[in-house]
Each structure stands twice: as structure tokens, then as C-alpha cells.
Amino acid sequence: MRLIVRIAALALAAVAVGWSAPVLAQSRIKDIASVEGVRTNQLVGYGLVVGLNGTGDSLRNSPMTRQSLEAMMERLGVNIRDANANTKNIAAVMVTADLPSFATAGSRIDINVSAMGDAKSLLGGTLLVTSLQGADGQVYAVAQGTVQTGSVSAGGASGSSVTRGVPTSGRIAGGASVELETGFSLASMSELRLNLRNPDFTTAQRVAQAINLAYPGTAFADNGAVITLRPPPQLGAAGFISRIENLPVTVDSPARVIIDEVNGVIVMGDAVRVSTVAIAQGNLTVSIQERPFASQPEPFSDGETVVLPDSEVTIEEERGRQMRIIGGDTSLSTLVNGLNALGVSPRDMISILQAIRAAGALQAEIEVM
């Protein structure tokens, strides 16, 4: 009797597994959302790169480089305004960097250096002390160091040259020192906000439910993009985020078809559905060939040579294409297989999808890039 009960239980379990819904892929909260205020800040500055091997700006064609050089030398006690300086070993550059959220004074950050004038290359140059400012005008970092371009260029005596990479743009690893912190204090915040990278009401509710399941009453979905968090006092803001950011959540997304007509790229989400439709597609090619010829007059006549047109028009239609029924199923693979069965190119498939949408059979949003 026990053996019969076990066999029946195994059979019921097999049936339940066979009829269960497919397991959807899950993502961590940290991969689909970010904490409001925890972000990088863009810095920018203007500076000079010196020590170039004759590949810098021409001072006659770059007045900003000349003025910067004169101002810098005056600060160092040297007056060169009356000198006819025409060196090409210096270049005016823009320096950019990203200041991390919790960067402290004295920490190092990477910087990017880009030429502004007619410099040919920044290879081997040294960036002089450059202050980096934020959007509020305050100086948050100071940059200096040797520029590394990662490019290769060679030239011959006849003027021919070969260049690989971009020699007028470079990078300095750890080239800036942070002088001022952003002032963002996470530990003092009693309420936090999570921002979904792809706003969706269903996903926001699922994130709040997953957090409340682990820590009841700590999360509330304000809308489709923001989830408000109230960290428990015993964990603090940082500790609470470290606990919830690895919680798995099933991400939902609207049905959308992305079309890049320039490159012929089509991307469809898993939620795209098509009602049952019949499609026939064929190619019609019209060819016009012009072959003008000259008409010569008879000998010893008063006629003139005349060029007459001769056009040949041919029409070719691809045959053998039959109407196919696609859609009417809940699987994206069925839709893809149906479209592939038509044997058309991606650009023709774009037109087919737009025609299906016009017929009201495509249950998705089309976004053309």
C-alpha cells in the first residue's frame, strides 16, 4: 500500500512539474536600480600639455594657447609677451574626470585629456597643474601627470603617414587628486529612494514586495520608478542597502520592438505578441537600361548626325512566395520562426512588422531609432 501511495505521489509531482509555468530569469536589485544621490559627478578643467616633440599647437594659429602660455609664465615671473615665441611643444587641452560618490580628500581618480587646437599628437606630453571644477564652479580635484595616448603614428620623408588610434586624446591613470568632497552623507539619512533604471509599475511593486518579505514594512513603491526605503535603526543606511541589493526580483517590461532602419537591426522583447495573421511578401524589380545610338545621314546629303534614345525596360518579380500564417501563440520563438519562414532580409522584415502593426495585429510598441 505504501508503495502505491509513493508511486501516486511521484506521478502527481511529475504532472505538477509538467504543467507549471516556465521559470523566469531573475535579477538582483542592485542590477536594476540605483540609490538616489549615489552617483558620479562630472568635472572639467582647462590646462596645458608641455614637452611635445614638435606636435603641439601652432602659436600663430592658436591664440588661446599663446595667451595661456603668456599668463602661466607671468605667474612664474617671466615676461614673454614681447618675445616672438613660435614653439610647437605645447598644446591647450580640456581635462575631464568623473568624481565618485564617496571620494575623500587625497584619493586619486583617472582623468581624460583632449587637445583643443591644431596639435598633431599629445604622446609623451606632461599635463601641468590643472584645477577641475564641478557644475557649481567649485574646484574638487587637481590634475597633473604624463599623458598616455595608446596610439601609434609614423611618417615618411615624402609626407605619407600612418596613424592608429587617436593621438590627440589621452588618459592619465590616477592623474588627479581629490581636494574637496561632495558632502553627500548616506549615514545620516533616515529615508532612502531606489530609482529603477527601466521604470515599470510591476517591477517596482515586485521590488517593494521582495524587500518587505525580508524586512517587513521597510519599502513602499511610490510610482513606477521610485521605491522609498526606511532602513531599520539597527542596520543603518549602508548596512540595509548591502542586505537588500542582492535580493532576486523578476523584472517585467512592456512589449516593445526596437527598429534601427539605418543598420537594419530589429530587437524584440519577450512580451511581444502577434495575433494570427497571413503574410505574403515578394520582391518586384524594375530595370531601365539606356543605350543611345547615333543616326548618320546618307552620303552627300544635307542631313545631320542625331543621337536617338533607346530604352529597355524589364520587370522581374520573385515568384514562389506563398502566404504564411504567423502569430496566434504565446511564444516569442513562434513569432521569430514565422518571420524567418518568409525568407526575407532584415530590412524587409522591418516593413513587415510595420505593416502588421498597421493591421492591428502586433501587440507591442514600435520604437524607430
347 pLDDT above the threshold of 80: no
Cβ-Cβ contacts under 8 Å for 326 (sequence gap 6 or more): 274, 276, 277, 279, 334, 335, 338, 339, 341
* Residue 107 cell numbers, joined: 584619493
The fold for domain 186-250 equals: Gyrase A; domain 2 (3.30.1360)
pLDDT band at 7 (very low <50, low <70, confident <90, very high): very low
Beta bridge partners of residue 46, listed in sequence order: 94
Instruction: Specify whether the CB–CB gap between 289 and 312 falls below 8 A.
Output: yes
- C-alpha closest to that of 324 among 347, 346, 344: 344
Q: Residue 304: what pLDDT?
A: 74
Task: Output the pTM of the full model.
Answer: 0.68
Instruction: Specify whether the CB–CB gap between 254 and 271 falls below 8 A.
Output: yes
As a whole number, the mean pLDDT across the chain is 80
Interaxial angle between packed helices 236-244 and 201-214, expressed in degrees from 0 to 180 and rounded to the nearest 10: 110
Share of the chain above pLDDT 70, in %: 76
Higher-pLDDT residue of 318 and 335 is 335
Q: Residue 139: what pLDDT?
A: 95
Instruction: Specify whether the CB–CB gap between 266 and 350 falls below 8 A.
Output: yes
- C-alpha closest to that of 46 among 116, 109, 93, 91: 93
13 pLDDT above the threshold of 70: no
How distant, in Å, are the alpha carbons of 293, 351, 356 from that of 262?
A: 40, 13, 20
- Residue range(s) of every CATH 3.30.1360 domain in the chain: 186-250
Q: Residue 236: what pLDDT?
A: 85
Phi/psi at 309 (5° precision): -80, 150
Q: Residue 22: what pLDDT?
A: 42
Q: Radius of gyration (Cα) for the chain, nearest Å? A: 34
At 253 the three-state DSSP class reads coil
For 204-248, how does the pLDDT look when each residue is reduced to its tens digit (9 = 90+)? 999 999 999 999 999 999 999 999 999 998 888 888 999 999 999
Lowest mean pLDDT among 220-234, 307-321, 352-366: 307-321
* Residue 26 cell numbers, joined: 531573475
Integer Cα distance of 117 and 257 in angstroms: 43
137 pLDDT above the threshold of 60: yes
Q: Residue 109: what pLDDT?
A: 94
Q: Which one-letter DSSP state was computed for residue 148?
A: B
Range from 105-114, 258-267, 288-297 that averages highest in pLDDT? 105-114
For 147-186, how does the pLDDT look when each residue is reduced to its tens digit (9 = 90+)? 998 776 666 666 666 777 788 999 999 999 999 988 788 8
Q: Residue 176: what pLDDT?
A: 95
Instruction: Specify whether the CB–CB gap between 236 and 187 falls below 8 A.
Output: yes
For 250-263, how does the pLDDT look when each residue is reduced to its tens digit (9 = 90+)? 998 888 888 887 78
Lookup result for grid cell 581629490: 178
